[in-house]
Amino acid sequence: MGRLDGKVVLITGTAGGQGAAAARLFAQEGASVYGCDLDAERSEAVAHEIRAAGGEMQSTAPVDLADPVAAAEWVDGVAKLAGGIDVLYNNASAPRVGPFTEMSWDDWRFTLHNELDLIFTVTKAAWPHLIARGGGVVINTASVSAHRGATFIEQSGHGAAKGGVLAMTRHLAASGAQHGIRANSISPGLIVTPQIEPFLDEPGHPVHEMLHSHPLGRLGVPKDVATVALFLASDDAAYLNAVDIIVDGGQSLIS
């Protein structure tokens, strides 16, 4: 028996990185996975890979989740097709980072729009379906940047947006408890995703200092986050609500 047998799971941002890793893992554990992304080709490739391995996944792309109409159309379409929703994993995000002195109003708005607003749009659309189901799980992706200042690159907009995610998650937990809905968050540290990989080949990039000083001697990989998401989505975490789990291998101990 899989830990998610019979569950309908929505995962945002499944074209690569943490979203793709979660889609693979959730499908292996018996979930019917419905993903979405802006990248149609890569997201469908992940879905095809999962189906070829015997799992269940459908992908919709492109979907601009920061658009409330597009987000609702995706969520409502999945609920109608699958007969309901059990788990929503808000993984997708798109920040702009850099020195605060160089951050423009457009950069600030882009980051909040694509890291905080899109969690509202998707969760707002999924909420009535979770209530109709008699309960369910919401997992939001926050960040260690919501807990502390970043040392290797300035990211005030990213940290502010993810701080909003942390606060929103707690309020969702309070609001959802009466409906049997649990809401928790994950705060990853530096994870080697397709966006980070190029920096590993860049001599002198600050990411190398983090790698050399890391307590575990390595940076995180997408599966490190996906396994935590699986736990939160499963009944093993049935008594966890309003919890944030930091997944950084202990990096925050030294920086």
- Where does residue 149 rank: exposed (0-12), middle (13-18), buried (19+ CB within 10 A)? exposed
From CA 216, how far away is CA 237, in angstroms rounded? Answer: 26
Structural contact between residues 12 and 65, judged by C-beta atoms closer than 8 angstroms: yes
> What pLDDT digit, counting tens, does each position of 25-57 carry?
999 999 999 999 999 999 999 999 999 999 999
Residue whose entry in the numeric block shows the structure tokens 């996975």: 33
pTM: 0.92
Per-residue confidence at 206, pLDDT binned at 50, 70, 90? low
Instruction: Confirm or reject CATH 3.40.50.720 for domain 8-245, answering yes or no.
Output: yes
Q: What pLDDT does residue 48 have?
A: 98
Residue whose entry in the numeric block shows the structure tokens 């160089």: 102
Per-residue confidence at 200, pLDDT binned at 50, 70, 90? low
